[in-house]
């Protein structure tokens, strides 16, 4: 761990802002959180908790979260700043402007007026002017670390009345003047040259200042004066480059939180001279060589009457015996939380730590290295296992085993994450009666059954974390979990669906993420107390049922292979209130409609809806959000679909029947059938004569009621005595033995023209209609205009039947001959009619007629 890691006073403010372990002292091992309570526009006052930035002091900042929450008239900004290198691109959103690492020599112009947080760290800015920030009246936090600034007058910030956080660390500051803003709460001047300050930081000038950072190469009078009159809650005192020190030069510190980065010159007795008055938390880094003895001298002066509660040691090298001495002094002090990060043990002896009654509640050791190859491990493990404290955390240290205490222990919290522990840990251990939380993540545990038997004697165990191991369960042997366990983390292992036969009966929260579970078996332990089930990143192909989890409230199945939901899910998962089901390859079909309706109905909260729920299948719907996928109820409801099809079929049948009756469709079909049959017989018997079979000039179609006019007037006037025109009439030309329809078709086929004698009697004749139909069909089949209409008497429209629509169409489109009543016009009528039917008929046709 780097020397610059800082600590927060209150863990409640840290929440999830830190990465890595956060112990009960509030120390963040990898990061820290700055809580800013910013003034509202109405100008109400506020406060913030801030500690120095870890590793390179805001060198590489990332504002991963800026949350505003109304709380009266205040706004809270939480800046989570992490300690590893992250490349940040410039982002301007009206509130945060990040110009870090942008190779700038001056402050950018035209910054957004709404800017509240401005990061200009890691640039080459050497001079600050009043005009640089004059327009940023809402500026709350300004980060200028890692630049080349040599002098600064606080008057450049006179227009930034709300500035609370100012970081000027890691510059070349030599001259600091002016009057600092009274609104400042965080001021970091560490890692600069020896600053010549003509400015006062007394509380009457900066009444709200809570964090102050400064470094020194020499502890001269100006530094001492500053420390004597400085009243802040947290002080960082960087002494890495301290070149000389006179014993007793340090003042009495009056800060609640003190962090001192010790000098690389190991002989300077800075720690030995520490005198604390009201300090509750102290952090010391870079402890090596003689500084270890100085630390022991400081600790030896602590007593039960002090106020020190938290001690953090970072980057410390010492022997095992010195380590035990530190434990010895701490155990007899008022310290409640001891944290050691970056511990290097240089040598060992056979001494075991003897635990005594103590005020210490928690010991946290992280990132331990051993500089020797051979040592008695049982001595080390026994020393830790026999400690009579409430919480012990040893992580990232490579420990192989952890012994069971020889007598009932006070441990309620144990954490051994990221080590090399095996299934043998705490085997048959019955001396952990008060243990409630056990964290064994990132070790080498392989057999889930053995892990369950390990917990059997831990009667108070409620939470077990064995995630990120290599656990499997073959289902051959029964498991033996402690009955009181309510939370179990089995994520990131190698477990299959057989794990559901090896679970604690009273479990309430179960985490099985990142395993190899493809389904929930029907035969498994009833988990009626289970409230949360996390199955994200497994191999599920459908939404699981909840038949074995009657009280399940939250189900997480993100990042699986869920295509559709099972019917069992909706039948048995009625009590689920929250479902995390995003990032699955959903098949958008009828089966998914009920799932989509969950959010619409409000019966279940779908986390990250709708952006994380998209169609993967079929191809045409890929990428479509489920919220935009719509499919008809008719398509998905098969009984309804069949009923609709039947109704439509019946309606169509009725409609067709009505149309057929209305337009006499059956009659037309019947006539078409007769015509095709006759044509087929003619073609089959004499196909070569089909197109050279004209024997008559005209075939006359008329009603029997008009026969007198046809026989006595029409035929005599057309045929005459010369025989030049031959007329086909049914009474004399129909062939006996043939059907009437066949004779009609035959006569029409053998006649050049067909004359229709139209009258009211004609439209009432069924046979006239047949003849009209066949003649009209000949017109279209032979592309020959063979119809002649003779209107003997006018026909009123109302007496024409509906099925005579062909006649209506013909009379509307064709020119017809009307029989004139005046005798004088008869000659013209006969001339026109003869001209219409005049054609030369071959002798062959005449011979056929004779035959």
Q: What CATH number is attached to the domain comprising 687? A: 3.40.50.10140
- For 5-29, write each residue's pLDDT tens digit: 333 233 222 223 222 333 333 333 2
Give the mean model confidence (pLDDT) for residues 352-375. Answer: 89
- For 91-108, write each residue's pLDDT tens digit: 444 588 999 999 999 999
In the predicted structure, residue 33 carries a pLDDT above the cut 50? no
C-alpha span between 129 and 500 (Å, rounded): 67
CATH code for the domain in which residue 467 is found: 3.80.10.10
Give the mean model confidence (pLDDT) for residues 596-609. Answer: 81
**Residue 429, pLDDT score:** 93
Please give the mean pLDDT across all residues of the chain.
79
Q: Count of residues for the chain?
A: 851
Residue 323: pLDDT band (50, 70, 90) is very high
Please indicate, yes or no, if residue 71 is contained in any of the structural domains. Answer: no
Q: What SS3 class is residue 850?
A: helix
| Residue ending a domain, choose from 487, 515, 538 | 487
Please indicate, yes or no, if residue 202 is contained in any of the structural domains. Answer: no
In the predicted structure, residue 362 carries a pLDDT above the cut 60? yes
Q: Residues 199, 175: contact at Cβ < 8 Å?
A: no
Q: Is the dihedral of CA 119, 124, 127, 131 positive or negative?
A: negative
Please indicate, yes or no, if residue 139 is contained in any of the structural domains. Answer: no
- For 509-529, write each residue's pLDDT tens digit: 999 999 999 998 888 888 999
Instruction: Tell me the helix, strand and coil percentages in the chain, rounded to 5.
Output: 30, 20, 55
- Which of residues 574 and 78 earns the better pLDDT score? 574
In the predicted structure, residue 82 carries a pLDDT above the cut 50? no
Give the mean model confidence (pLDDT) for residues 280-307. Answer: 89
Percent above pLDDT 70 for the chain: 80
**Residue 567, pLDDT score:** 74
C-alpha span between 187 and 51 (Å, rounded): 10
- For 382-433, write each residue's pLDDT tens digit: 999 999 999 999 999 988 889 999 999 999 999 999 999 999 999 999 999 9
- Which of residues 779 and 459 earns the better pLDDT score? 459
| Residue ending a domain, choose from 487, 509, 534 | 487
C-alpha span between 330 and 300 (Å, rounded): 9
843: enclosing H helix or E strand: helix 843-850
Give the mean model confidence (pLDDT) for residues 532-550. Answer: 89
What DSSP string describes 378-438?
Answer: HHHHHHHHT--SSEEEEESS-----PPPSS----SEEE--SS---TTTTTT----TT--EE
In the predicted structure, residue 301 carries a pLDDT above the cut 90? no
Please indicate, yes or no, if residue 494 is contained in any of the structural domains. Answer: no
**Residue 536, pLDDT score:** 94
Please indicate, yes or no, if residue 422 is contained in any of the structural domains. Answer: yes
In the predicted structure, residue 133 carries a pLDDT above the cut 70? yes
**Residue 322, pLDDT score:** 94
Q: Which of 131-145, 212-226, 295-309, 605-619 has the highest mean pLDDT?
A: 131-145
Q: How far is CA 588 from the centre of its chain?
A: 17
Q: Taking the C-alpha atoms of 706, 707, 708 and 712 in order, what is their torsion angle to the nearest 10 degrees?
A: 120
Q: Residues 439, 467: contact at Cβ < 8 Å?
A: no
Give the mean model confidence (pLDDT) for residues 212-231. Answer: 81
Give the mean model confidence (pLDDT) for residues 744-754. Answer: 83
In the predicted structure, residue 626 carries a pLDDT above the cut 70? yes
- For 23, which DSSP code? -
Number of independent structural domains in the chain: 2
Q: Residues 147, 169: contact at Cβ < 8 Å?
A: no
750: enclosing H helix or E strand: helix 740-750
- Which of residues 462 and 22 earns the better pLDDT score? 462
- For 671-713, write each residue's pLDDT tens digit: 566 556 655 655 655 544 444 578 888 888 888 888 888 888 8
Q: How far is CA 130 from the centre of its chain?
A: 46
Q: Residues 746, 738: contact at Cβ < 8 Å?
A: yes
| Residue ending a domain, choose from 426, 461, 487 | 487
Please state the pTM of the whole predicted model: 0.68
- Identify the domain containing residue 424 by its residue range: 404-487
C-alpha span between 59 and 145 (Å, rounded): 7
Please indicate, yes or no, if residue 578 is contained in any of the structural domains. Answer: no
State the burial class of residue 692 (Cβ atoms within 10 Å of its Cβ: 0-12, 13-18, 19+).
exposed
Please indicate, yes or no, if residue 176 is contained in any of the structural domains. Answer: no
CB contact burial 100-137 (16+ within 10 A = b; e otherwise)? bbbeeeebeeebbeebbbbbbbbbebeebeeebbebbe
C-alpha span between 295 and 293 (Å, rounded): 5
370: enclosing H helix or E strand: strand 362-370
**Residue 679, pLDDT score:** 58
C-alpha span between 427 and 442 (Å, rounded): 19
Give the mean model confidence (pLDDT) for residues 342-352. Answer: 91
**Residue 625, pLDDT score:** 85
Nearest one of 805, 739, 802 to 772, comparing CA atoms: 805
C-alpha span between 150 and 544 (Å, rounded): 65
Q: How far is CA 515 from the centre of its chain?
A: 20
Please indicate, yes or no, if residue 411 is contained in any of the structural domains. Answer: yes
């Amino acid at each position: 761990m780097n020397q610059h890691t800082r600590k927060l006073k209150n863990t409640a403010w840290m929440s999830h802002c830190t990465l890595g372990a956060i112990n009960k002292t509030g120390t963040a091992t990898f990061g820290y959180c700055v809580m800013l309570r910013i003034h509202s526009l109405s100008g109400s006052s506020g406060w913030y908790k801030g500690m120095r930035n870890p590793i390179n002091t805001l060198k590489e900042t990332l504002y991963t979260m800026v949350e505003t929450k109304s709380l009266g008239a205040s706004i809270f900004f939480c800046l989570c700043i992490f300690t590893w290198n992250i490349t940040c691109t410039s982002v301007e959103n009206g509130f945060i402007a990040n110009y870090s690492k942008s190779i700038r020599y001056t402050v950018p112009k035209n910054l957004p007026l709404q800017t509240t947080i401005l990061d200009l760290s890691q640039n080459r800015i050497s001079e600050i002017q009043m005009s640089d920030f004059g327009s940023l009246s809402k500026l709350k936090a300004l980060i200028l670390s890692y630049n080349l600034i040599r002098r600064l007058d606080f008057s450049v910030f006179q227009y930034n009345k709300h500035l609370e956080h100012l970081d000027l660390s890691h510059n070349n500051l030599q001259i600091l003047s002016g009057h600092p803003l009274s609104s400042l709460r965080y001021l970091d001047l560490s890692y600069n040259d020896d600053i010549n300050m003509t400015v006062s930081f007394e509380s009457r000038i900066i009444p709200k200042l809570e964090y102050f950072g400064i470094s020194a190469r020499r502890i001269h009078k100006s530094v001492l004066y500053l420390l004597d009159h400085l009243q802040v809650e947290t002080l960082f005192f960087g002494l890495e480059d301290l070149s000389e020190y006179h014993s007793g030069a340090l003042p009495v510190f009056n800060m609640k939180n003190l962090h001192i980065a010790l000098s690389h010159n190991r002989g300077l007795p800075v720690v030995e001279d520490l005198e604390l008055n009201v300090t509750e938390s102290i952090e010391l880094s870079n402890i090596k060589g003689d500084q270890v003895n100085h630390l022991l001298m400081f600790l030896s002066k602590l007593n039960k009457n002090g106020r020190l509660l938290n001690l953090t040691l970072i980057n410390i090298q010492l022997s095992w015996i010195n380590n035990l001495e530190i434990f010895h002094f701490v155990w007899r002090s008022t310290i409640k939380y001891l944290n050691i990060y970056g511990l290097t043990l240089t040598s060992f002896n056979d001494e075991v730590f003897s635990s005594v009654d103590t005020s210490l509640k928690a010991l946290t050791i992280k990132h331990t290295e051993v500089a020797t190859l051979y040592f008695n491990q049982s001595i080390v493990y026994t020393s830790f296992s026999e400690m009579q404290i409430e919480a012990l955390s040893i992580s990232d240290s490579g420990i192989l085993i952890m012994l069971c205490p020889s007598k009932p222990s006070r441990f309620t919290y144990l954490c051994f994450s990221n080590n090399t522990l095996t299934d043998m840990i705490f085997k048959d251990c019955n001396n952990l009666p008060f243990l409630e939380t056990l964290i064994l993540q990132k070790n080498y545990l392989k057999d889930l059954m053995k892990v369950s038997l390990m917990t059997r004697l831990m009667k108070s165990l409620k939470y077990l974390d064995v995630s990120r191991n290599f656990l499997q369960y073959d289902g051959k042997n029964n498991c033996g979990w402690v009955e009181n366990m309510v939370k179990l983390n089995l994520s990131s292992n190698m477990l299959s669906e057989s794990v559901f036969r090896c679970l604690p009966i009273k479990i309430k929260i179960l985490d099985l993420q990142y395993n190899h579970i493809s389904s929930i078996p029907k035969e498994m332990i009833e988990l009626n107390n289970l409230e949360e089930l996390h199955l994200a990143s497994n191999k599920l192909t459908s939404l699981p049922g909840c038949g074995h989890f009657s009280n399940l409230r939250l189900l997480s199945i993100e990042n699986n292979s869920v295509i559709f939901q099972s019917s069992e899910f909706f039948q048995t998962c009625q009590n689920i209130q929250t479902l995390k089901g995003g990032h699955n390859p959903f098949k958008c079909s009828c089966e998914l409609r009920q799932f989509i309706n969950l959010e619409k109905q409000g019966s279940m909260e779908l986390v990250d809806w709708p952006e994380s729920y998209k169609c993967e299948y079929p191809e045409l719907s890929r990428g479509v959000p489920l919220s935009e996928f719509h499919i008809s109820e008719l398509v998905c409801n098969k009984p309804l679909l069949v009923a609709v099809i039947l109704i439509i079929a019946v309606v169509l049948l009725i409609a067709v029947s009505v149309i057929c009756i209305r337009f006499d469709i059956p009659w037309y079909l019947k006539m078409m059938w007769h015509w095709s049959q006759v044509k087929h017989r003619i073609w089959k018997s004499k196909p070569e004569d089909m197109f050279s079979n004209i024997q008559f000039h005209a075939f006359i179609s008329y009603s029997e009621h008009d026969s007198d006019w046809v026989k006595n007037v029409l035929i005599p006037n057309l045929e005459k005595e010369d025989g030049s025109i031959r007329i086909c009439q049914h009474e004399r030309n129909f062939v006996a033995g043939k059907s009437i329809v066949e004779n009609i078709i035959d006569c029409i086929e053998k006649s050049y023209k067909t004359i229709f004698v139209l009258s009211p009697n004609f439209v009432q004749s069924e046979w006239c209609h047949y003849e009209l139909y066949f003649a009209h069909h000949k017109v279209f089949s032979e592309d020959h205009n063979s119809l002649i209409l003779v209107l003997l008497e006018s026909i009123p429209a109302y007496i024409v039947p509906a099925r005579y629509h062909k006649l209506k169409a013909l009379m509307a489109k064709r020119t017809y001959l009307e029989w004139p009543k005046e005798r004088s016009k008869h000659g013209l009528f006969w001339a026109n009619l003869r001209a219409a039917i005049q054609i030369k008929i071959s002798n062959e046709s005449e011979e056929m007629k004779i035959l």
